[in-house]
Amino acid sequence: MLSSRPAWLELARPGNVLAGGITCTLGGYIAGITELQIISLSVTVISVMSFIAAGNMVNDIVDRNIDSEAHPYRPIPSGRISIERAKMLATSCWLISLLGMVASTVLIKNDVSEWWGVPLIWGIAAALMVTYDLGPRIKERGLSGNISISMLVGAVIIFGAASVGGIGKILVWLVAATAFFVNLGREIVKDCEDMESDEGRKTFPMEVGSENARMVAYLLALAGLICAAIPYYLSLLPIQWLLFQTPAIILIMTTNRALAAGEDEKAQKALRKGLLLGLLGFAASVALP
């Protein structure tokens, strides 16, 4: 069914863009942002949101032939936006992201010595995005594609922290590790869900079987929970506020029921919700003494 939203907006996938902006903000908040660094973080958030929008557009441009059969109502295969315009929009978003990264680097360089984190993380993320969609198209190589996307999710948190000079903080890396492992589990479950419709890809579930893939996904999600608990046991966060992670712990641990029943859509949505609750738990733990 055709969407009522403008084609360019649908192409950018605003839900993902907004989630990226919030996650980046969370990274800066967890790292300990000061009032003077709000502008730097704000510019970084714009860079992240533009980066994600560009990546989504490139993905749809590259997959337009597949989408013509699998998702005919998307903006490009439905003819609501031309390839040329989509490429122009993607290029514009890339440039905005690049300029945002440069501006953030300049702003933070005048404030702290760890300014190098911003261009470093952006460069790594750009390399991951290019190799994922354009060449050598890691997205078609099963587990390595899942890992690439999950690294990008974790990088958003580190990028936000880097924009306020907090790239060296252990807490930031543990939060990013939590996001990486839980999202990696979710990506594998999504591939289980899409096994019948995936063409031209050799996904992890195709290689090891859906049941084994689900088991691995669950273990990865549990690894994410361990990463989420470590800051409290290391006294990086007050131990009593581990309570804030309870909803995420319960939700992620109980996904084994859906996975055992082969309810992949339900499981991957639960993992996404669990990750969100876990990140909110970190934010609450930082906010309170």
CA distance 278 to 177: 12
Does the pLDDT at position 196 exceed 80? no
Does the pLDDT at position 1 exceed 60? no
Does the pLDDT at position 177 exceed 90? yes
Instruction: Please give the torsion angle defined by the CA atoms of residues 210, 215, 220 and 222, in that order, rounded to the nearest 10 degrees.
Output: 140
State phi, psi for 164 to the nearest 5 degrees: -120, 15
Over residues 8-26, the mean pLDDT reads 93
Helices 83-109 and 38-62, packing angle to 10 deg = 160
142's CB contacts (< 8 A; 6+ apart) are 191, 201, 202, 203, 204, 206, 207
CA neighbours within 13 Å on the CB side: how many for 49? Answer: 15
**Closest alpha carbon to 18 in 60, 48, 58, 42:** 48
Over residues 64-91, the mean pLDDT reads 86
Structure confidence by residue, pLDDT tens digits, 124-136: 999 999 898 877 7
Does the pLDDT at position 53 exceed 60? yes
Does the pLDDT at position 32 exceed 80? yes
Instruction: Please give the torsion angle defined by the CA atoms of residues 4, 5, 10 and 16, in that order, rounded to the nearest 10 degrees.
Output: -110
Residue 77 is predicted with a pLDDT of 86
Over residues 21-42, the mean pLDDT reads 92
Residue 74 is predicted with a pLDDT of 85
Does the pLDDT at position 115 exceed 70? yes
Contact 186, 272 (CB under 8 A): yes
Please give the domain boundaries of the chain with CATH numbers for all domains.
1-165 (1.10.357.140), 169-289 (1.20.120)
SS3 4: coil
Residue 2 is predicted with a pLDDT of 53
Residue 203 — pLDDT band, cuts 50, 70, 90?
A: confident
136 vs 268, higher pLDDT? 268
Residue 287 — pLDDT band, cuts 50, 70, 90?
A: very high
Does the pLDDT at position 3 exceed 70? no
